[in-house]
Every structure is written in structure tokens, then in C-alpha cells.
Chain A
């Protein structure tokens, strides 16, 4: 069973640039969620995708967008990067159900904005 993998592990960008982060879900999972974790804080929910459609969104502006592909892998895109976007970005996959299923997290992409 392959776990959740994220790429790249580290990334440095400058203000105003755009970035794409990638996530491969755990085998058999059809739902992916993205989180932002600032240093010293808990993860903050960005959004979730299920069957290639956004299925819930946290308090993040529209410049944070995502995609889920037919193989359930996913991308997080952030436009017009700001200094405050510097954080660890976590992807989690799970199996959709009417009762909660455990979310399986990757180890994240560390994004630094200069």
C-alpha cells in the first residue's frame, strides 16, 4: 500500500509568483484535502476535492485553487504569492463515506516566499 506522497519537498519563490504543489493519494482513496500549516501552528483547512470537484473550502482567498485528476491525484495552485504564504502545505487523502474515515497525510511541501 503506497502512502500519500507530495512534491516537491521544498520550494523557494518570490512575491507575486505562482506555484503548483502536487499530491499523490494513497491507493484506493477518492478524496483529497489540502492544509496550510504556519510555523508553530496547527494545520488550517484550505479545501477538499471529491470526484474532481471542490467539496468544502476553508477561509482562503480565490488565489488558492486546486484540481483533482481522474486517478485521484491532486494539485494545489497559489497565484500572486505573498510573504504570509510561507508555510508547510499538507495533503491528506481519505475514502469518502457517510461516516468519517481517517485522513492519511503526506509529509508536506515547505514553501518559502522571499
Chain B
């Protein structure tokens, strides 16, 4: 199974952009890259996903390297509500086996 590697923790200041990296050097051609986040005492929340091209939605942007061996989740202006554990996950196209790692704990400072 393709695995992902993320930093254990990151810090950001409020209203500044945050770039959360993820390495997935063993990704296969059919693997999608997903990002979820988990706020304290809640279930995970979908953030964004992509295959090859960069993606944008109302929550974040996903930048995918040309060789697809890494990706970056971009929060354009961090707020205190963005403090959470962020998970980078690879799945095949039918999305039936999401393997979460330990994720990156993001702390946002006022």
C-alpha cells in the first residue's frame, strides 16, 4: 500500500497562509490524494482531494507535484478554527480503503 509521510506538528499565526506538506513517493498512477482534518472531539472532516492537477475549493487549495510524489495543502488565511490534525491519505479510485496516518497537528496562534 502506498504510504504518506507528514510532519508531526506545525505552527502558524492567525491570518497567515499555511502550507502543510505530504510526501507519497510510492504513489501509483491511480491513487487519489485526499486531505481530511479532525478538530478536537469531532470526526474527521473532508477538506479536498485531487489526482494530478492542482485543486481549489472554498476551504483550501491542493498543490500536487508534477511527479505526484508529494503534495501541499494550502490554507490561505489560517484562523483559530483551523487548529486541527490534518491527514493526507491515498486511495484508489473507488475510495473504499482510506488509510489514515498520524497526521500533522496544526496549531494556530493568535
Contact = CB atoms under 8 A, between A and B. Distances in A.
**Dominant secondary structure at the B interface:** loop
A56 interface: yes
Interface string B99-110: 111110000000
Contacts of B42: 105, 107
Contacts of B99: 44-45
Contact of B43 (A90, A98, A99, A101): A90
Contacts, number: 64
Given A92-B43, A104-B46, A107-B43, A48 B96 contact: yes
Interface stretch (B11-19, B20-28, B76-84, B87-95): B87-95
A90 B45 CA distance: 12
A98 B91 CA distance: 12
Contact of B95 (A4, A94, A107): A94
A100 B32 contact: yes
Contacts of A90: 43-44
A33 B98 contact: yes
B102 A41 contact: yes
Given A41-B102, A42-B103, A100-B49, A105 B97 contact: no
A55 B96 contact: yes
A10 B91 CA distance: 30
Given A42-B87, A42-B102, A100-B49, A48 B97 contact: yes
Given A104-B46, A107-B41, A107-B43, 19 more contacts: A31-B96, A35-B100, A41-B102, A42-B85, A42-B101, A43-B100, A45-B97, A45-B99, A45-B100, A50-B96, A56-B96, A56-B97, A92-B43, A98-B93, A99-B93, A100-B49, A103-B36, A103-B46, A107-B42
Interface of A: 4, 31, 33, 35, 41-45, 48, 50, 55-56, 58, 90, 92, 94, 96, 98-108
Interface of B: 32, 34, 36, 41-46, 49, 85, 87, 91, 93-103
